[in-house]
Amino acid sequence: MKISLTVNGAQRAFDVHPGDTLLEVLRREGYKGVKKGCGAGDCGACAVLLDGRAVNSCLVLAGKADGSEVLTIEGLSKDGALHPLQEAFLDEGAVQCGYCTPGMVIASLDLLTHHPDPSEEEIREGIAGNLCRCTGYTKELRAIQAAAEKMREARHG
Amino acid sequence: MAEERRPAFVVVGKNERKVDGVALVTGKPKFAGDLDLPGTLCVKILHSPHAHARIAEIDTAEAEALPGVACVLTHQNTPLTRYTTAGQGYPEPSPYDARMFDTKVRFVGDRVAAVAAETEEIALEALKKIRVRYEELPAILSVDGALAAGAPIIHDEKDSPGIYDAAKNIAADVDIDVGDVAQGFAESDVIVETVCETQYAQHAPIEPHVVLTNLDEDGRLVIRSSTQVPFHVRRIVARVLDIPLHRIRVIKPRIGGGFGVKQEVLLEDLAALVTLRTGRPALVVLSRQEEFIASRTRHPMRIRVKLGARSDGTLHSLEMEVLSNTGAYGTHALTVLSNVGSKTLPIYNKAKNVHFFGKAVYTNLPVAGAYRGYGATQGYFALETAMDELADGLGMDPLKLRRRNAIRVGESSPIFEKLGEGREGVAQTVKSCGLERAIELGAARIGWEEKRGKRPRQGSRVRGVGMSIHMQGSGIPQIDMAAATVKMNEDGSFNLLIGATDLGTGSDTILAQIAAEILGVPVSKVIVTSSDTDVTPFDTGAYASSTTYVSGKAVERAALAVREQIVQVAAAMLADDGGNLDEARFVLKNERAVAPNGRGVTLAEICQRAMYQTGQFQIAATASFVPDESPPPFMASFAEVEVDTETGRVQVLEYVAAVDCGVAINPKMAEGQVEGSVANGIGFALTEEMLFSSKGRVRNPTLFDYKILGARDVPPIEVILVPSFEPTGPVGAKSVGEIGINGPIPTIANAIHDAVGIRLTKTPFTPERVLDALRARRPG
């Protein structure tokens, strides 16, 4: 079957099998920033924004996403400029192996879009579905707080 | 402490961004599984459903006939060479008790066959069509069962060298003595004894094992692997598949965490053989379930510690007995067993009488291997629990007891020499030690004085604080070897080629910082290429906390040699000026070489002259380093916990780790190593445990059922980097990758005791175990 998706702003058509997950299709089509850690919705490494909300793409059938808008980590930086979340993850040392990072950044983006000024508890809740085995989350929490501040400043001038 | 010897650094000690960071945060295809090669075959493995069985028959005809199947591998058509999957230096101190495929299976998950097919669906379908007739054998599912008289023999084959006593299921045995412990106990005023047990636990890196192989244009085999040990992979694959080493190139791209589980040659042989048989690229990726059942685990252990002390608190006699479960194969059995003692006992060097002994035994359970902490994690649970009990017995503050007995600068321990990694160790004296200060800073941060023994209660919840102290090592002395090449370019930049393996730790970055510091350039002028056996010089790999200290020293040496060449050229260029051109007093800074008289030339000009103009040569150097010692990093760790006496739930409210790792080359990265390993350790202490059916099958092989901590579960972790300077280390540094993971189990156990007076001796400390212990506690 054919599906149509807007991926990172570009309209694309994909041939998919009925059983294909969105994760499989995105990786097959070259969006390698979408990572597979478990294939069961437990780790969050495959998170993408689907119509503006973070989802585990391993749990979404590609056919069900037909007509949707998808944002992957590859679509986050604009014209070579990193997103404040990406900058903050680098500056705070929140990236170690980097395998969970795309999903973690996507989940954080969802969080900050809906809660521009989250408490630490809200941040912990917001990335609760994204497992990281390297960092202990300490640096991620700081990075997300720092990015939130920058994004609020940018919004209010 | 030797702070006064610490030179002023420009790049070292700065929180530089990771050199691979931008690629990682933008999702660039940097991992082994991200490369699409046309015509790649998908490889899937058939795992044993039985814990112990002989393979009487395998019929692969139906599988091979399935359209889209390229090849099927079994013991009938693969090399029968015995080897160890342990990616260790050669000769490996692990028994050669494995084959690619054997005629016997020894745990649920053992390899039976593999299929390479056009698609994953076809490969999985083909696995179902392989007919196997098993003759089941009685299975051993406990260490006691393995040692029982008349137990079935797991390795009954005759051709596996290196097993200590196969007929008794003993993979490895260690026994060392210092002084006379029996007499030591007789002379002691207070004696305590404790037995602690640790669980089966899995590394669970978020990226599973991935190997992609292909033949290059010249027909050479290229292996891209998520490995911590590319050079060992090349050597072991060459031997197992009987192909010349020079026909193999191993590349380690970015890897998504390892923690020891990728120190194994687990899949490279399979993908490589498929590529050699078919001429096509082959990809094998373990599923999460396979990671749990068929990769590697931490060695579960039962450890007995007996301590004898004088009434003033001085340790006098120390005995540690270890029973380690290595699972179905003996990979890392001997060395992990050795490390239980060698990385714990020297910290209490005041004990004159020490006996360390133990066995690693085979069982028909998943295979244990290398795991961050490497035996020390298990050892410290028992040792630091016993130390707390001893403090109780002496009526002494646990802090004071540890201070009295802990090793200091200028001191040694006979254990360093007696006990190495699977052989004798190397004598050393401690040249940097911030342990005393770490205890002080950590105690202040957690509020030890105010909180200890107070047991504040709110309803059914009671709080307590606990602590423990730790050391690890920095590489394996006189065994590990690292090399580095530094090569200059005419814009004043440098290539840094290192065999060292960055598994997400940031080692590419801190090694670049060392080179940049010495060469007087920013990190952006150091182009790092690592872990490619065709391109980079040798390095044993990323394990045993070796990278910062051992690989770092190789980089320091190579950079110093290049610096010397640069200064020679600079002196020649400035010769016309006259003045003081004492080469020893040149300074490299701000991308210039500056003479003592203040005149200088840019690095770009220097390299342009060397390449194109006068006395032409390539400014470059390769240097190696083999350490003569393994300077321990030290840590004091503290926790405040809350125990719910009604539900049995233990919550860590705050965790403090004060760590001495010498000069922290990149402080945020050093903190990150500790934070991550502490979080993993808290998981061991509270939630992580592989559970087994009565037939030896893992019951919880998912990240849903095997609970690693998420962001909501991890308490605030405060890392304090205690300043020190290691004179033998590169730029004063020691390694820091493993030590943090040793802290949480004993620290939390001791805090639980402070809160509610129970001693938990079996990990993880689940609500059931807490409630059982509370119920079993005698009144009063």
**3-state SS, one letter per residue, for B273-309:** HHHHHHCCCEEEECCHHHHHHHCCEECCEEEEEEEEE
Cβ-nearest to B206 among A99, A127, A141: A99
Query: What is the C-alpha separation between B743 and B655, in angstroms, rounded?
Result: 10
B688 min Cα distance to partner chain A (Å): 13
Confirm or reject contact between B681 and chain A (CB < 8 A). no
Cβ-nearest to B704 among A40, A90, A130: A40
Which residue in this structure is represented by tokens 């993908």?
B271
What are the percentages of helix, strand and coil residues in chain A, rounded to 5? 40, 15, 40
Cβ-nearest to A124 among B24, B703, B711: B711
Task: Enumerate the residues of chain A whose CB falls inside 8 A of the CB of residue B680.
Answer: 133, 136
Which residue in this structure is represented by tokens 């060395």?
B335
Interface of B with A in 718-777 (CB under 8 A): 719
Query: What is the DSSP-derived secondary structure letter of residue B731?
Result: G
Interface touch B257/A140, C-beta < 8 Å: no
Structure token digits, residue B226: 């998520």
User: Which residues does A80 contact at the CB level (< 8 Å), separation at least 6?
Assistant: none
Interface touch A40/B668, C-beta < 8 Å: no
Nearest to B654 by CA among B418, B444, B445: B445
B503 min Cα distance to partner chain A (Å): 6
A40 min Cα distance to partner chain B (Å): 8
Q: How far is CA B209 from CA B179, B294, B460, B708, in A?
A: 46, 11, 44, 18
- Single-letter amino acid code for the residue at A54: A
A90 min Cα distance to partner chain B (Å): 6
CA dihedral sign, ordered B644, B647, B650, B653: negative
Q: Which residues of B178-191 are buried (b: 16+ CB within 10 A; e: fewer)?
A: bbebeebbeebebb
B764 within 8 A of B686, measured Cβ to Cβ: yes
User: Which residues does B151 contact at the CB level (< 8 Å), separation at least 6?
Assistant: B140, B145, B168, B169
Chain B contact probe: residue of A20, A26, A58, A97 with most B CBs at under 10 A: A97
Cβ-nearest to A93 among B257, B287, B668: B668
Q: Which residues of A39-64 are buried (b: 16+ CB within 10 A; e: fewer)?
A: bebbbbbbbbbbeeebbbbbebbbbe
Nearest to B628 by CA among B455, B464, B467, B474: B474
Query: What is the C-alpha separation between B92 and B330, in angstroms, rounded?
Result: 11
Residue B674 half-sphere exposure toward CB, CA atoms < 13 A: 31
Strand partners, B212: B224, B283
Nearest to B760 by CA among B497, B425, B384, B480: B384
Alpha helices of B609-713 — where are they, by DSSP H?
667-686
Q: How far is CA B655 from CA A131, B458, B504, B664, in A?
A: 20, 21, 23, 21
Torsion (CA) B293, B294, B296, B299 in degrees, nearest 10? 50
Three-state secondary structure call for residue B434 = coil
Cβ-nearest to B25 among A38, A89, A125: A89
B293 min Cα distance to partner chain A (Å): 14
Query: For chain B, what is the radius of gyration of the CA atoms?
Result: 27
Interface touch A86/B716, C-beta < 8 Å: no
CA dihedral sign, ordered B47, B50, B51, B52: negative
Q: What is the pLDDT of residues A40-70, one digit of tens each?
A: 999 999 999 999 999 999 999 999 999 999 9
Interface touch B504/A127, C-beta < 8 Å: no
Query: What is the C-alpha separation between B556 and B515, in angstroms, rounded?
Result: 6
Nearest to B60 by CA among B112, B121, B131: B131
Interface of A with B in 96-155 (CB under 8 A): 96-102, 105, 123-125, 127-141
A4 min Cα distance to partner chain B (Å): 23
Query: What is the C-alpha separation between B500 and B408, in angstroms, rounded?
Result: 31
Instruction: Please give the residue of chain A at the shortest CA–CA distance from B503.
Output: A97
Q: What is the pLDDT of residue B2?
A: 46
B352 within 8 A of B184, measured Cβ to Cβ: yes
Query: What is the C-alpha separation between B206 and B703, in angstroms, rounded?
Result: 10
- Single-letter amino acid code for the residue at B208: P
Nearest to B522 by CA among B19, B23, B22, B7: B19
Instruction: Calculate helix-pair angle for B333-342, B376-394, nearest 10 degrees.
Output: 30
Query: What is the C-alpha separation between B646 and B643, in angstroms, rounded?
Result: 9
Task: Enumerate the residues of chain B whose CB falls inside 8 A of the CB of residue A76.
Answer: 26
Query: Could you say which residues of chain B have pLDDT below 50?
Result: 1-3, 780
- The band of A156, judged by pLDDT with boundaries at 50, 70 and 90, is confident
Chain A contact probe: residue of B206, B262, B637 with most A CBs at under 10 A: B206
Q: What is the 3-state secondary structure (H, E, C) of B47-64?
A: ECCCCCEEEEEEECHHHH
Interface touch A37/B208, C-beta < 8 Å: yes
Q: How far is CA B254 from CA B217, B384, B485, in A?
A: 24, 37, 20
Strand partners, B497: B485, B529
Query: What is the C-alpha separation between B148 and B527, in angstroms, rounded?
Result: 57
Query: For chain A, what is the radius of gyration of the CA atoms?
Result: 15
Sheet holding B650-660, edge to edge: B457-458, B461-471, B634-644, B650-660, B717-721
Instruction: Please give the residue of chain B at the shortest CA–CA distance from A93.
Output: B668
B282 within 8 A of B213, measured Cβ to Cβ: yes
Tell me how crowded residue B350 is: count the other CB atoms within 10 A of its CB.
Answer: 17
Q: What is the pLDDT of residue B580?
A: 66
Nearest to B182 by CA among B353, B390, B321: B353
Number of CB pairs, chain A paired with chain B, less than 8 A apart: 173
Residues written for chain A: 157
Q: What is the pLDDT of residue B5?
A: 61
Does ipTM top 0.90?
Answer: yes
H and E: helices and strands count for chain B: 20, 29
Interface of A with B in 26-65 (CB under 8 A): 30-40, 42-43, 45
User: Which residues does B572 contact at the CB level (< 8 Å), separation at least 6?
Assistant: B614, B615
Burial of B168 (0-12, 13-18, 19+ CB in 10 A): middle
B742 min Cα distance to partner chain A (Å): 15
